[in-house]
Amino acid sequence: MEKINKRIITCSDGTWNKPGDVDEGAYVRTNVQKIFEAICNEDGNGVKQIKYYDEGVGSTGSELRRIIDGATGYGLDENILDAYKFIIWNYEIGDEIYLFGFSRGAYTARSLAGLIRTVGLVKNNDLRLIQQAYDIYRDRNDPDKNPNGKTAEQFRLQYSQPVEVKIKFIGVWDTVGELGIPFMMMHNKEKYEFHDTTLSSYVDFAYHALAIDEQRKSFEPTLWEQSDKARQAGQTMEQRWFAGVHSNIGGGYADEGLSDITLDWMIKKAAATNLAFEQGYIDGQIKRNKAGTLYDSNKPPFSFIGAHIRELLTNPNANETIDDSVYERMALDFSPEEGYSPENVPVRP
């Protein structure tokens, strides 16, 4: 068995999310914040686990500044590069990399995996090289700059770690929007599109929690597809649907019952790959509740452009599943007005 030096974990939060946020008069945390807090500094065998948390885009500055940043995507490049630099500064051959993210932070995590696949990890802290690496990744028009292209290969050989750096685990909550980002108003959207929604073969484990009840048109989910080659090579990928809207899945509401279901699922999946968590934190902070409040997210200004019912289980290459808690919620004795029977959920097999 290959020796593990340490684990490097990045946790990227969603738009306007940060520690200290308040909902209904209570301090709230997203699942990205919670998983960051729950990860141990080392596992039971003494393997160190170093972790990084990044506040969501639009989480600082004046109210106007936050609105503008959140709506335009300003800061996206900085988010991705900051996480990339953290990995570069700490990486040694034999380390394992874990990436977590919610909403726009899910876009950050997925883009970070693509960046590492394309250019590897730069061997030193030369900021010019790091920017050059990022520019190669972002150039969608030059086939030489895709992961198997000549420019990308030459860059990896000359400037990056002399090994194929793989991602041990990606865990994301509700990646949304045409570009993996909701309500983008950017002049250069093409630059920020996912290069490919096919999950990289350089990822060992990938898990995606998705919201059944989110109906905002600008929040359409962006699922992975898995290649036959990666599947046959032993890659594990699952995209699981849960009851709730966007922040019922990723967290941030006062009632955390539904979001804690998805958090519990993600922690168990990560723990199965040997990422170590503080059991006391999990026991004290995670309170699953399949009857938790299902919020209405499709309010003005989002409701002005109508609603979109998400489609489930339509792509044979997406490996979609529905969590048992969904059917358990449907079976609860709610009043007729409050009953839960989403039209997009098929009858339980």
Q: Give 85-133 pLDDT, tens digit per residue.
A: 999 999 999 999 999 999 989 999 999 999 999 999 999 778 889 999 9
Look at 17-31, 34-48, 56-70, 126-140 and tell me which has the smallest mean pLDDT.
56-70
* Gap between the Cα atoms of 65 and 63, Å rounded: 5
Q: Is the confidence at residue 302, as pLDDT, over 70?
A: no
Q: Give 243-270 pLDDT, tens digit per residue.
A: 999 999 999 999 999 999 999 999 999 9
Q: Give 308-339 pLDDT, tens digit per residue.
A: 899 999 999 999 999 999 999 999 966 666 78
Average pLDDT over residues 1-30: 77
Q: What's this model's pTM, rounded to 2 decimal places?
A: 0.90
- Domains of the chain as residue ranges with CATH: 6-331 (3.40.50)
Q: Nearest Cα to 16, choosing from 30, 35, 26, 27?
A: 30
Q: Please, what is the average pLDDT of the chain? A: 86
Residue 338 has a pLDDT of: 73
120 close to 165: Cβ distance less than 8 angstroms: yes
